[in-house]
Structure 1
């Protein structure tokens, strides 16, 4: 069983992007995913980075070279799904979604099928995708792969991997920016601190003696200040930037 909190702390303490990637890869390997590919799917002007497939990857070099030479990025159902939805997904769902799209012609579908077959031969038989979308619309994602198909879907594990992916994404890209610490109100820090303790919005509302609508109001302000759209990512950033600590706040 993976200790999620411990792994997130290790990622946050990493001294380089390479170390953050190594820790993330080691963690997801415990779920059976032994290969990882982190891609900037759109330009990230705030960081001065351009779109780049395999910005950090443990995929085989020969597969990456073949993938790019065949222009498979334009036909990849996993890439297609990342642009369609920010939710984590299993690869076979991405394949099914692309096949149902009436806008996709026969050439695209045939090339996609060829791509997935060749990926399986290269040891990338199955996997999951975890997209990340910033408030400014910048898109990136991690693809996690294994050498054999998943026999039974485990959505709990999918959620855990997505949580680890968000922590990795935040820390990895932090090495390419000079972060400024946004000014938070006491209530906003309270919301973030209790979120770090795993509390839901409803539980935070009870603890703080406010309505759930007020908690959502604070989250909206937090998102604007941090330029993120995920509570998990906002909480991870708050810990990394020293806005909150992992110790439980006073009720």
Structure 2
């Protein structure tokens, strides 16, 4: 229990997504899960997971595996992703072997995983507070471990592993992360818009012309792939790119 408390103390005080992810990967490896994929979207709609550029996607799988998994569309046909979208909590990968659970279109994703020695593990699907959001993590067992070995690990440590993953998931949205990066000036003008300032107000505050402010707002909208400045403020806020302490220079 002391080790768990010490780990959670480090995790909850992690200063960056990179630091948090490193801590989590090391912790999961100590249980025998040495390859992880974490995914989170705020833009789920119907059967769509939204634009991949808006996902929070973290992994310590090798580039070759991720290239195949993403570029060949296996991410959209993986059976455990389908399970995660419709359920909450941990699930053994043995679920895929149960009669009737695997769809025909999912067999290619399973074959790909088996060819990459991704054949035993657990998936944890996190509780969603909105129908637009969903997060989950795939925990792949180290080579040489069978699903029977994984079940033994889970029987002894599953509750602790689940808690550690839940805390990691809850921490991630508090840290700046996005594949769509804003410059320092773009963040600054969006912050002033979020404070209710007009273009004219921001121009006076920053000692710039209104045309320059409009340019930065347009570039921010383009960077975030939205149509309106209000949408840009919302998306930047989602990914903690506004009011960031010690932001990197543009």
Please report the TM-score for the alignment, with normalisation by the length of structure 1: 0.58
Partner of 2:127: 133
What's the offset of the Cα at 1:87? 1.5
Q: 1:64 aligns with which of 63, 66, 81?
A: 66
What's the offset of the Cα at 1:64? 0.3
CA contact (8 A) 2:89 2:127 kept: no
What's the offset of the Cα at 1:37? 1.1
Deviation per CA, 1:83-126: give whole Å up to 9, x if none: 12112112222x135x5148x3x3x1432441332232xxx231
CA contact (8 A) 2:93 2:121 kept: yes
Q: Aligned ranges for residues 1-251 of structure 1 at < 5 Å?
A: 3-41=3-41, 43=43, 51=52, 55-93=57-95, 95-96=96-97, 99-101=99-101, 104=103, 106=104, 108-120=105-117, 124-137=118-131, 138-146=133-141, 147=143, 148-152=145-149, 153=151, 154-176=154-176
Q: What value does the CA root-mean-square deviation take over the aligned residues?
A: 2.7
What's the offset of the Cα at 1:72? 0.6
Query: Is the alpha carbon distance of 1:3 and 1:133 closer, same or farther for their aligned partners in structure 2, counting shifts above 3 Å?
Result: same
Question: For 1:88, what is the secondary structure of its paired residue?
Answer: strand
Larger radius of gyration: 2
User: For 2:76 and 2:93, how far apart are their aligned partners in 1?
Assistant: 16
Gapped runs of 5+ residues in structure 1? 178-251
Query: Is the alpha carbon distance of 1:111 and 1:2 closer, same or farther for their aligned partners in structure 2, counting shifts above 3 Å?
Result: farther
User: For 1:32 and 1:90, how far apart are their aligned partners in 2?
Assistant: 15
Give the aligned length.
166
Gapped runs of 5+ residues in structure 2? 178-250
User: For 1:163 and 1:126, how far apart are their aligned partners in 2?
Assistant: 20
CA contact (8 A) 1:42 1:50 kept: no
Query: Is the alpha carbon distance of 1:42 and 1:129 closer, same or farther for their aligned partners in structure 2, counting shifts above 3 Å?
Result: farther
